Structure formats: C-alpha cells, structure tokens
Amino acid sequence: MPAIRPRHLCALAAAVVLTVTAPVTAASAADGTALREVLFVGNNWDGTADVIKSSGDLAKIGRINVVPDKDARMAEINADPIKWIYFMAIRNSVGEGHDQFVDDMYSTPDGKSVVVSRPSFADVVSIDLATGKINWRFKVSGYRADHMAVSPDGTRVAVSASTANTVHVLNINTGQQLGSFATGDKPHENIFTKDGKYIWNMAIGDVNTDSDAPWLDWTKGDRHITVVDATTYKQVRTIDMRDKLDAIGLKDYSDAVRPAVFSPDESKLYFQVSFFNGFFEYDVATDRITRTKTLPKNPATSDDRTTMVNDSRHHGISMSPDGSKLCVAGTMDDYATVVNRTTLQEGPLVPASKPYWATVSGDGKSCVISESGADQVTAIDFATGQKTASVAVGDHPQRVRLGHVAANWTSPAS
C-alpha cells in the first residue's frame, strides 16, 4: 500500500500543477448560441464560483460573485433574531467557523445563468453570467439550503431545505416552485434518474452533534432514502439502510447515506455513510447491500468520530462514464483514489488535502476532486489512477459541477 502523507505535506504538494492540453468542448443552445462546456467550482467560504476548463489542465476561465446581494441579506438576518441565531449556528457548526455562501450550482441550458444554493442565506438564486446580477431568488423552507440536482433536460432543479426536511423542485429559468416533497431528517444529496422520472433524496440526520458513538446512533434522527415521482412529487419508495447494514453484520455502522452514484444502467447504487472509510454497493432490484469496500486509513487521521467534519470521514464519489471505475474522495484521510468497479481494488492513493467532492471531467477521462483544505481542484486519470492536473481556486471549494457558458464568456464586472 502506498504511504499516505499527513495533511500538511499534502498542502505543500498542492503547489505542483501538471498541464495537459485538451480541446475546448463546444455546444449550442436552443437558439443557436455557441456554448462552451466548463466546470463550476463553488468556493463555499468566500461566496464565489470559479469557472474552469472542463477537461485537460483545468485552467481558470473566470469567477462569479454568488453573493452580490450580501449586504441586503445580512440586513435581513440582523433584523430578525431567529434568522440570526440560525445564521450563527450554521457558521459555528457545519461551517466550521465560516459562513456558507455556496453549496451547489448548475447552469441553465442556454448558458446564460447559473443557479446557486446558498446555505447561510437559506435560498436559491439565479445569477446572470453576463452581468453578475440576480435574476430571481427563492427562499427555501426553514433556515438552510443544501445539495441540489438538475433534471436530465436541464429545466428543473431540486434543492434540499435541510432544516425543514423538505426538497423543493424549481423551474430553473424562473425560480417558480413546481412541487415539493417531505424527506427524512436533514435532506442532503439529490439524484435524478437518467430518464428524469424519479428523484432520490438521501437524509443524513444530525451531523453536528458529538453524540457520535455507535450506541448513540439513534439520536441522529430519521435517516432514509426517499424516492419520488419527478412529475407528481409523490413518494413511491423509501429505503432505510439500517436493516440492510444489520443484515450483513454491520450494526455499528451509520446508516446516514452521504454522496452516492448510480451505475450506468442504474441497477446499482454506490454510496458512502458517516464515519466510514469506504463505500457500499446496493442492488436496487433486490433491495440489499451486495458488497462492502473498506479503503485504507491514513495513520495520521484520528479514529475519534467527534473529530470528523460533519460526521463525514469520506465524502465524494463519482463513476467513469463506462461504469468501470469509481473515484472516491477520502476526506478526513487526505487522499483520493480510483477503484476498479469489478474487483473493488483501489489504485494509487493520491495525496489530497481534505477532498470534499468528486465528479467527472467533460471528456470523461478524469475524476475531478475539490481539495477544500488546499483551495484547489485536482484531476485524476481514471485509466492510471494518477494525478494529472491541479488549479488554484477560492476559499474552501466543495461542489464541482459541469455546465455551460457562452463561448466568448468572461467574468462579469465586479
């Protein structure tokens, strides 16, 4: 097993950038406007989104301010004692002492706007990519907005309202609510099935308490997967991983499903859970966990559950387009690795500083991770498992999403 370097060495290694040449991916909007495929990187703590190349060297293209209305929002919060209490609670718990200004983002199909969920402001906004101004704002139920998902046709966006146990589904162009549905405690990840017919939501429960011992797991709340019809928003199925884990003798493991990814045919779901350095394979048809993969621990990482950020030892998983490889972000263990999906054998452990998310590059050749501890985004080749590129971004990058901008786009004026 390759040696895993401690976090401070990973941060030093983050300065190395490898350059790979890749063509610009072109596309067209419905009106014929030329578009460019990009990656949006949400810098959660400084309220910006970097726009970088979707493949190759990940070179930076521009930056967007996602809190242009910050003064107005803060005035509202400071005038309302309840909002202020929640705002400060977010800062001092899930925010690790920082405000959370961007959790997730998706561009509109025409490449003219980017839609952003803003946890500390409990809202979703659409920002005009040309002007930097807000097109529309939707206030979520409760006091915090979280992960989103976009429908396959790009017209609808689902957002978790984590303190209200609700998911809102919005028209991505207008911000109008099309529907909503109830979830378990603290809805988190959302996934549309590739045919657009269903939405899967994963509720993770309370991740900000220190009641982390296995015998106190019951205090974390009602955690289950909610599957709804994406047209009627009616519940069609719930899945509780507690009994699935118990059935394979893992009674002390958390059933809080974190990031997850489907196989190309959607017959298998690969998912991470709180506190676990690894992931599970779940068979959708038979409703059971079929395989468990435990990944290496970093000897410099404490096994004390209370030291794991928001209960997530590993947070971030993606899959190569052909379904042959998985990419896993080992958040607290300071590495990322590519795993063969057939054998579940991991490749090289690529040092990374608090990697918080994993996605796929535009050309499908690389896994792209956000290194929140080093303020950079890194590409790892699916074929070799080796790092190929890194680019510096803003403060505490988390979600990274593919999207589009106009082919000649540049950052809007401040």
Backbone angles phi, psi at 217, to 5 degrees: -55, -30
Q: Which residues span the domain enclosing 210?
A: 7-406
Position 1 in a domain: no
pLDDT at 26 (0 to 100): 53
Q: Could you give the number of structural domains in the chain?
A: 1
pLDDT in tens, 383-407: 999 999 999 999 999 999 999 999 9
As given in the structure block, the two tokens for residue 43 are 């810098």
Position 411 in a domain: no
Q: Output the pTM of the full model.
A: 0.92
Say which residue the tokens 């009627």 belong to. 232
Position 414 in a domain: no
Let me know: does 219 contact 212? Beta carbons within 8 Å.
no
> Is residue 23's pLDDT more than 80?
no
pLDDT in tens, 299-341: 999 999 999 989 999 999 999 999 999 999 999 999 999 999 9
> Is residue 57's pLDDT more than 80?
yes
Let me know: does 298 contact 307? Beta carbons within 8 Å.
no
pLDDT at 28 (0 to 100): 76
pLDDT confidence band for 30 (50 / 70 / 90): confident
Let me know: does 49 contact 67? Beta carbons within 8 Å.
no
Measure CA of the first residue to CA of the last residue in the chain; give whole Å. 48
Position 412 in a domain: no
Position 413 in a domain: no
Let me know: does 388 contact 16? Beta carbons within 8 Å.
no
Q: Which CATH number is 17's domain given?
A: 2.130.10.10
Percent of all residues in the chain with a pLDDT value above 70, rounded to a whole number: 93
Spatial distance between the Cα atoms of 177 and 155, rounded to a whole number of angstroms: 12
Percent of all residues in the chain with a pLDDT value above 90, rounded to a whole number: 88
Position 2 in a domain: no
pLDDT in tens, 265-282: 999 999 999 999 999 999
Position 152 in a domain: yes
> Is residue 21's pLDDT more than 50?
no
Which of 5-19, 79-93, 249-263 is the least confident region? Answer: 5-19
Average model confidence (pLDDT) across the chain:
93
> Is residue 25's pLDDT more than 80?
no
Partnered with residue 151 across adjacent β-strands are none
pLDDT in tens, 172-228: 999 999 999 999 999 999 999 999 999 999 999 999 888 889 999 889 999 999 999
pLDDT in tens, 124-140: 999 999 999 999 999 99
> Is residue 11's pLDDT more than 60?
no
